[in-house]
Amino acid sequence: MEPYTSHLHEHGFRMTPQRMAILNILTQAGTHLTPIAICQKAAAALPGLTDATVYRTLSFLAQQGLVLAAHVGNGQLVYEIAGRNHHHLICRSCGSTCEIDHDLLKSLYQQFQASTGYQIDNIHVTFFGLCPDCQADQPLPT
């Protein structure tokens, strides 16, 4: 937890028990978690912790760049610990997920920035399509 504590202190914030619990949950999960799943785990770790506090804390940690929020379709938002830039492919049929390393899209990000003048600060994109298995199940167009 030291890197997170240091980051918060450097920016004038303190490491609260709520922040510590949520960072621990996301670090241990090693994958994306929905806010509901985080609320359940956080309430078990810190009895009395409210859902509203968890949502506010997740928003704060995302603003600080310590966690990443990603939209994974159907309006669903998930969170994961920050630190490894990657993207996702999600199958619209079965919901399977495949991670894409950011290096594959790095030149595209640079092109976007150069052509628009925008400084892109969210390095997380989700693509949707059909996985190979679901494509095999689809009838071929005639």
Domains and CATH numbers, the chain: 1-83 (1.10.10.10), 84-132 (3.30.1490.190)
pLDDT higher than threshold 60 for residue 142? no
Q: What are the Cα distances from residue 26, in Å, to 16, 30, 60, 118, 138?
A: 16, 6, 14, 30, 36
Instruction: Report the pLDDT value the prediction gives residue 14, as an integer from 0 to 100.
Output: 94
pLDDT higher than threshold 90 for residue 59? yes
pLDDT higher than threshold 90 for residue 26? yes
pLDDT higher than threshold 60 for residue 75? yes
Please give the Cα distance from 125 to 127 (Å, whole number). Answer: 7
pLDDT higher than threshold 80 for residue 30? no
Taking only the tens place, the pLDDT of each residue in 78-101 is: 898 887 777 888 888 888 888 888
pTM over 0.75: no
pLDDT higher than threshold 90 for residue 126? no
Q: What are the Cα distances from residue 17, in Å, to 25, 62, 103, 141?
A: 12, 17, 35, 56
Summary mean pLDDT of the chain: 87
Band (pLDDT 50/70/90 cuts) for residue 140 is low
